[in-house]
Structure 1
Amino acid sequence: MIMKTNIYKTTIAFFMLQSVLIVILLNNNYMKNSDYLQSSLSEWVELLLGLVIVLMNLGAVIIARILYLSGIEAEQLKTTALKYNHMLTQNRIYQQHHHDLKNHLTVILGLLSQEKLTELRDYLQSYLNTVNDALLRINSGLDELDILLSAKIQDAKRNETEVKLIIRDPIQCSSKKVLDLVAIVGNVVDNALEAVKSLKPSQREATWSIRKDPVDYIFEFSNPLLLANQTAEGDFFEEGFGTKGEGRGHGLSITKKLTEKMEGTIRIDTSKGQFKVIIEIPRHKLER
């Protein structure tokens, strides 16, 4: 971070110096035309300034390339951090089940020795369901999105929220658009999970679906509607307005901006007692 800040400071200083030299050169040309304050060395000074400016222009090309590579590296670091956090989460889950395995085997052996086959079957079924849930595998077609959705579903389970994930079609996404897409999905999902926390555990549920048609990728996220009164759709996208509490609605505002950046649309459907966010992004904008 410090190195990045130094690069930007150096770049600003470089272009400021370049601008000053150009101003001096132009001013000298103006005075030369007016034959004002000219010395015998003015032509050499003008030649030297011109040479320095040319060299600085070449340097500007190099600096632009450095900044471009720095931006790419920053995106790669964000993606790597996301994958690393997912690996930590999965490792914690594996360790937990490894630690609990001895206790489960003890219970299973006890039920078997007492010939309580019905209880044994129910216990094994419950344990297998728990393991299958923990080792959830998601295949959206995009590794970064798989990681995000997997982590969010684990968070939801820890908060006793049932998530139904439906992926009808895999996504093809350009590396340039990955971070924006992850931010869009992450913001909406965070809003949904935060909103249902105020409900009773039996009512905490959310449905997330991904599909495509010939033109768009369509992302739908729904959860029980919490607002008692009808609200105009545009209000949901105002900064500070939220479905999860006053002053906490920045997620949808940011999501709208990111979606429109890719020429997509976002709308809200509050019918049938559900708060549904529907996002449509042109396929050619994501894939290229």
Structure 2
Amino acid sequence: MDILMIFIEMMLVVLLYNTLFNKSNNKNLFRYSAVIAICSILFYNFKSINGILIYLILLLFEIFAIAFIDKKDNNLVLIEIVICVVVTFILQNISVTIVYLITRKTKELVFLHMGLFVVSIVSIMIFSKSYIKKKSLDFEDDIRDNLLISNIFLNIFMFFMILKVIYDSGKFSNLIVIEIILLIFINIFLNISFYRTLHKNILKDKSIEVKNAYNPLLDDIIENIRANEHEYKNHMNMLYSIIFVAKDIPELKERASKYLGELDHKNILNSILEIESTIVKSILYSKLVECEQFGIKLNYSINSNIEDSCLDDSEITIILSNLLNNAIEATKNSDKKEINIKIYKYERILIEVSNNIEPEKISNFDVEDFFKKGFSSKGKGRGYGLYNVRKIVKKYKGDIRIKVEGENLAIVLSI
């Protein structure tokens, strides 16, 4: 019976890991079960030597085995399993505390503790599965990008190991153990509060860093726009002068029309000067110049001022630059070179970028993978642009939709 309870406890940790970080992928459940069965038998046979030491050794074995099965980084799986272990420890201690407060007993009611624990874990898994699917969450991305979360959970894990040593020793009264549990919960709360404050400061520093990196580029583009805007006005004044002088002289009127045609063809500032947002105007100017080099037609419709949204200047720059960079990369070698960008408001700010694609290239990839970290069809070391876009959209609880219709790919952001 003891070995079965050990197996159930260990297996619930892995099932929680599979729900939170593998999106309930069931293809490896049998392999997980085999690993847990081996660990359970080994722990049962050798726990008398040193329960905590054997537990830690087998936990590391379990982590490396699961990382191998899932073909994931060992350190990432380590953090994910530790988080799940911490969650199970918290639930176990809550069940022990509840039972003690009601019955004034702990170790005598092991099966009741286990029953409450199993019910709580299963409830969390059911809720998490539906919530993750509904919100399109990816906890693995959050863990991968936040080293502070990793440090906090590793510290909490060590606190629970200490508690387990105290509890298993039997040298302390139930009341003292309960007091230690409460102190650990207070420590967890303080850790999380500290993390939230520190995380906000880090995000603020990153935002300032990005702004400092982009501002010189934007300032240069804005200055270029202003210079070209002045030049454009000079051209228009010249045109008006020609038309005014021409009066009834057909040759001068013809010359004015020709001049206007050349001006429309060469000057890419004809309509972006009326765009309200300086940031959008600057980015579009730089991308129009780039598109002209590749013979790409860039159409734009800006019906809302994106600067009125929750996004700051650096985030607007990251989103628009990466979406347009991706569209240009996909379009420059296609037969029909055309990109469309729309910014409009319908409850929330909507940004839509569509472009032509080569179907045979896109068929090798799942479009949902576009926003995953490191994904790129252009080789290693690429694929972080759209991932950064996704992080910003996720930050503001926005939405990303990807549509593929024939030879056209559209990405729509709602922020």
Question: Could you say which TM-score interval applies, normalised by the shorter chain?
Answer: 0.5 to 0.7
CA displacement, residues 240-281 of structure 1 (integer Å, 9 cap, x when unaligned): 4336x3444332222112211221111211113201111111
**Structure 2 vs 1, CA of residues 68 and 269 (structure 1 numbering), >3 Å: closer, same or farther?**
closer
**Structure 2 vs 1, CA of residues 227 and 237 (structure 1 numbering), >3 Å: closer, same or farther?**
farther
**Structure 2 vs 1, CA of residues 256 and 278 (structure 1 numbering), >3 Å: closer, same or farther?**
same
Contact 1:134/1:154 (8 A) holds in 2: no
Residue 207 in structure 1 maps to residue 340 in structure 2: yes
- Provide the rounded CA distance (Å) in 1 between the counterparts of 2:388 and 2:207: 22
CA displacement, residues 145-184 of structure 1 (integer Å, 9 cap, x when unaligned): 221122212221232211110112223135x632122211
TM-score normalized with structure 2 length: 0.41
Match of 1:208, SS?
A: strand
- Provide the rounded CA distance (Å) in 2 between the counterparts of 1:270 and 1:76: 33
**Structure 2 vs 1, CA of residues 123 and 274 (structure 1 numbering), >3 Å: closer, same or farther?**
same
Match of 1:218, SS?
A: strand
Residue 271 in structure 1 maps to residue 373 in structure 2: no
Aligned length: 206
- Larger fraction in helix: 2
- Provide the rounded CA distance (Å) in 2 between the counterparts of 1:208 and 1:272: 18
Partner of 2:23: none
- Provide the rounded CA distance (Å) in 2 between the counterparts of 1:163 and 1:71: 31
1:225 maps to a residue whose letter is I
- The alpha-carbon deviation at position 190 of structure 1 amounts to 0.8
Partner of 2:333: 198
- Provide the rounded CA distance (Å) in 1 between the counterparts of 2:366 and 2:282: 34
Contact 1:223/1:276 (8 A) holds in 2: yes
Partner of 2:388: 254
Partner of 2:156: none
- Provide the rounded CA distance (Å) in 2 between the counterparts of 1:279 and 1:73: 24
Return 5+ residue gaps in structure 2 as ranges. 1-200, 240-249
Match of 1:133, SS?
A: coil
- Provide the rounded CA distance (Å) in 1 between the counterparts of 2:388 and 2:205: 25
Q: How does 1:56-95 map to 2 (within 5 A)?
A: 74=209, 77-78=212-213, 80-90=215-225, 93=228
- Provide the rounded CA distance (Å) in 1 between the counterparts of 2:331 and 2:202: 42
Residue 238 in structure 1 maps to residue 376 in structure 2: no
Bigger relative contact order (CA 8 A; separation at least 6): 1
Segments ≥4 residues shifted beyond 4 Å = 66-76, 91-98, 115-119, 138-141
Give the percent of matched residue pairs that are identical in Structure 1 and Structure 2: 19
- The alpha-carbon deviation at position 191 of structure 1 amounts to 0.7
**Structure 2 vs 1, CA of residues 250 and 79 (structure 1 numbering), >3 Å: closer, same or farther?**
closer
**Structure 2 vs 1, CA of residues 120 and 261 (structure 1 numbering), >3 Å: closer, same or farther?**
same
- Provide the rounded CA distance (Å) in 1 between the counterparts of 2:292 and 2:263: 16
- Provide the rounded CA distance (Å) in 1 between the counterparts of 2:207 and 2:375: 34
Match of 1:241, SS?
A: coil
TM-score normalized with structure 1 length: 0.57
**Structure 2 vs 1, CA of residues 226 and 246 (structure 1 numbering), >3 Å: closer, same or farther?**
farther
CA displacement, residues 12-47 of structure 1 (integer Å, 9 cap, x when unaligned): xxxxxxxxxxxxxxxxxxxxxxxxxxxxxxxxxxxx
Contact 1:206/1:224 (8 A) holds in 2: yes
**Structure 2 vs 1, CA of residues 143 and 79 (structure 1 numbering), >3 Å: closer, same or farther?**
farther
**Structure 2 vs 1, CA of residues 177 and 118 (structure 1 numbering), >3 Å: closer, same or farther?**
closer
CA displacement, residues 87-127 of structure 1 (integer Å, 9 cap, x when unaligned): 353367579989x9xxx9xxxxxxxxxx8679736632322
Partner of 1:173: 309
Return 5+ residue gaps in structure 1 as ranges. 1-65, 105-114, 282-288
